[in-house]
Amino acid sequence: MLSIETLKKMLSGAERSFQQMQAAIAPEQKKIEELQGKAEKVYSKHYINEKIQEVRTAISDRLYGIFAEINKAADQATDSRRFYESTSFMLSRERFHEDDGINAGMKLAAMSEYAKMALPDVHLVADAAKAENKLASLWIARLASQERTEDIAQWVDIGNVQTPAQAEGLRLIANIIQVKATAELSMRGSVISPFSRPLSPAEKLALARQATPA
């Protein structure tokens, strides 16, 4: 699981790489467009195609290298998404206190106290924890309700809960994937594209959706 700080650094790196890609594509794309605009009476079609291929070949390694960095960041971010999508996992990481020792003591005390409560009281504690945004207490209440009954319907509901770290992590991951999709559309949709196969309509649509902010 990648930390919030790591995801922030990866997003900044992906954005810088995309800017480098755009800067690399622009002048070379202009060269190709100028060649394509030449009438056959000036240059033969064969000559123009050869020169276009030379331009593409000259820049292909650089573009592949830049895109590989963006793609790597997107893959790593995607791998971490399953952790940030799990509300129960993210709640389990919430703390009562920044100090590890104090946090452990407060956690054990809450677990002991909630274990002695009747289930309706555990739900009251959970409702208060939600209202006061005391997410560590909410998680202990959830565990206490699970210990009390196997009836999932009677467990403390965490369905509409999202921790700050969870929201931030999912936002960063989505932004990294958005940069990757935008970069792929930019590179493969340009005349300078080093890819041998153009994007299919379905691929363009899928990438366009990923590149559009939610």
**Residue of 116 and 197 predicted with greater confidence:** 116
Same domain, 150 and 170: no
167-178 as b/e: b if 16+ CB within 10 A: eebbebbbbbbb
Mean pLDDT, residues 117-140 taken together: 97
Same domain, 100 and 83: no
Mean pLDDT, residues 17-45 taken together: 80
Q: Is residue 31 part of a domain?
A: yes
Mean confidence (pLDDT) of the chain:
89
Point out the domain boundary residue: 125, 154, 183.
Answer: 154
Q: Is residue 159 part of a domain?
A: no
Residue range(s) defining the domain that contains residue 64: 4-87+164-211
Q: Which of 165, 103, 170, 168 is nearest to 140 (CA)?
A: 103
Q: Is residue 146 part of a domain?
A: yes
d(CA 1, CA 7): 10
Q: Is residue 175 part of a domain?
A: yes
- pTM of the entire structure? 0.83
Same domain, 113 and 174: no
Share of the chain above pLDDT 90, in %: 64
Same domain, 54 and 146: no
Mean pLDDT, residues 26-37 taken together: 79
- Tell me the pLDDT tens digit for each residue of 58-101: 888 888 899 999 999 999 999 999 999 999 999 999 999 999 99
